[in-house]
Chain A
Amino acid sequence: AQKVTQAQTEISVVEKEDVTLDCVYETRDTTYYLFWYKQPPSGELVFLIRRNSFDEQNEISGRYSWNFQKSTSSFNFTITASQVVDSAVYFCALHSGGGADGLTFGKGTHLIIQP
């Protein structure tokens, strides 16, 4: 069975602070894919990143960075110099290469950036 845990239900920081959203996953598959999605107050799910299990390189995209560590089954997401527009619910999701049952989502972390 697959599982994604986002232990942080809600995080509140002041604008310009750095913030890290944690994601821990469980899967027995050796090939799998990890995703992060952003859900702003308007409700849509916005794709942020996909990471393959065989590629442990960390990735940076502007103020966003992701730290993938297979040893600890974690795929954490850091926002540097946060902005009010970053306020949203962020979901980590897992999909295994051997399964065809869609994405398994964590419960999400509600990020509040205060001006």
Chain B
Amino acid sequence: DSGVTQTPKHLITATGQRVTLRCSPRSGDLSVYWYQQSLDQGLQFLIQYYNGEERAKGNILERFSAQQFPDLHSELNLSSLELGDSALYFCASSVEIDGPSGNTIYFGEGSWLTVV
């Protein structure tokens, strides 16, 4: 158990709909990351938050958005869903912002999203 909690574990929704994925980071971790894993794209970095502020953006679509709340949990919002958005979405957390000292990034169990 990594200590990173993601809900829901599985989600099936229709095209055009909107869903919200939730993540609770490990206790004490200020940095939260979102990743997408699909068969054709592999593991792709979407976005990172640190202590409530957006820190870095990766290959995140404009239809997707995220935020980190004062209690440090984070949500990833996916809207106008398409079939190609079907994937495993991971949240990860680490204790400090990325930097020369480095840190270990722990992943949650993921949220399986199926768009039909």
A binding-site residues for B, Cβ under 8 Å: 31, 33, 35, 37, 42-47, 50, 52, 91, 93, 95, 97-105, 107-108
Contacts and interface: CB of A to CB of B under 8 A. Distances in A.
Interface string B1-36: 010000000000000000000000000000001010
A97 B99 contact: yes
Contacts, number: 69
Interface of B: 2, 33, 35, 42-43, 45, 48, 55-58, 88, 90, 92, 97-100, 102, 104-110, 112
Given A102-B45, A102-B58, A47 B2 contact: yes
A46 B2 contact: yes
B102 A100 contact: no
Given A43-B112, A107-B42, A102 B106 contact: no
